């Protein structure tokens, strides 16, 4: 079995124009904290991971959990509102849906989603480009803080048999790092990461399938 795992933001969907700003605004509004603009400086680049690091100085566990829930609710609600009020704010990375659907038909491929976003916004984004989350094994920042653990969970939900090969599609340096830690082949999407296997988008289906050897 070849497990092929996808990040969402910047890999399957384009939503960075508002998504990061709403996340930063939720943290600022609830906690009064400005995020470091270079997210790679955080230990775990996921919605829950960055938030956990910011809340490290809150000693009371119950208060920390309460603030975390407030930030998450503020971000999820503002994202839903933004999508409702704006026309097509979430766009498909060209070729994303066609590639996912093609891989789902491959007998020896187990496809899954591993994203650093929370589950509510992850589902919203997938549905916006025509993919049904219930049909895709998925793990998110609602399941774990570390991206490597999110990827492990996604893989476990995608296949029950032995895994011979693993590939992760992502757009961030943290994606590349996590793939290396887990022994995944890595495919960089979007031009933001230097890597020997890279595509600007997902339109060249034959070239990508050739790279995956499926």
Let me know the angle formed at the C-alpha of 64 by 58 and 67, rounded to the nearest 5 degrees: 115
Let me know the angle formed at the C-alpha of 31 by 28 and 32, rounded to the nearest 5 degrees: 55
Looking at residue 29, its pLDDT comes to 97
Reported pTM: 0.94
Determine the Cα–Cα distance for residues 152 and 141; give it in Å rounded to an integer. 12
Determine the Cα–Cα distance for residues 181 and 175; give it in Å rounded to an integer. 10
72 has pLDDT over 80: yes
88 has pLDDT over 90: no
Tens of pLDDT, residue by residue over 19-54, are: 999 999 999 999 999 999 999 999 999 999 999 999
Report, as an integer, the average pLDDT of 16-21: 86
Q: What is the DSSP letter of 8?
A: S
Tens of pLDDT, residue by residue over 124-154, are: 999 999 999 999 999 999 999 999 999 999 9
- Contact predicate 154/112, CB 8 Å: yes
Alpha-helical (H) ranges within 32-172 are 47-54, 61-85, 96-104, 119-128, 147-158
Looking at residue 140, its pLDDT comes to 98
- Contact predicate 17/41, CB 8 Å: no
Determine the Cα–Cα distance for residues 159 and 117; give it in Å rounded to an integer. 22
Looking at residue 8, its pLDDT comes to 97
Report, as an integer, the average pLDDT of 181-201: 97
Looking at residue 15, its pLDDT comes to 86
Let me know the angle formed at the C-alpha of 1 by 120 and 170, rounded to the nearest 5 degrees: 45
Place 199 in a pLDDT band, splitting at 50, 70 and 90.
very high
Place 112 in a pLDDT band, splitting at 50, 70 and 90.
very high
Question: Which helix (H) or strand (E) segment is 6 a member of?
Answer: strand 2-6
Looking at residue 144, its pLDDT comes to 97
Report, as an integer, the average pLDDT of 184-206: 97
Nearest-10 Cα torsion for 55, 75, 138, 213? -100
Q: Give the number of C-alpha atoms closer than 13 A to the C-alpha of residue 108, restricted to the C-beta side.
A: 11
Specify the higher pLDDT residue, 112 or 159.
112
């Amino acid at each position: 079995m070849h497990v092929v795992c996808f990040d969402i933001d910047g890999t399957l969907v384009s939503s960075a124009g508002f998504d990061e700003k709403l996340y930063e605004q939720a943290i600022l509004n609830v906690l009064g904290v400005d995020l470091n603009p270079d997210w790679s400086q955080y230990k775990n680049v996921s919605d829950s991971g960055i938030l956990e690091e910011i809340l490290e100085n809150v000693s009371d566990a119950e208060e920390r959990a309460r603030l975390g829930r407030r930030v998450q609710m503020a971000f999820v609600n503002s994202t839903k509102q933004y999508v409702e009020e704006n026309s097509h704010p979430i766009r498909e990375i060209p070729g994303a849906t066609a590639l996912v659907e093609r891989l789902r038909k491959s007998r020896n491929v187990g496809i899954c989603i591993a994203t650093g976003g929370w589950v509510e916004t992850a589902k919203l984004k997938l549905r916006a480009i025509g993919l049904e989350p219930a049909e895709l094994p998925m793990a998110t920042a609602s399941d774990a803080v570390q991206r490597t653990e999110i990827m492990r969970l996604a893989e476990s939900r995608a296949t029950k048999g032995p895994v011979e090969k693993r590939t992760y599609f992502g757009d961030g340096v943290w994606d590349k790092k996590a793939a290396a830690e887990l022994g995944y082949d890595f495919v960089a999407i979007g031009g933001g990461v230097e890597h020997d296997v890279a595509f600007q988008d997902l339109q060249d289906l034959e070239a990508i399938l050739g790279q995956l050897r499926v």
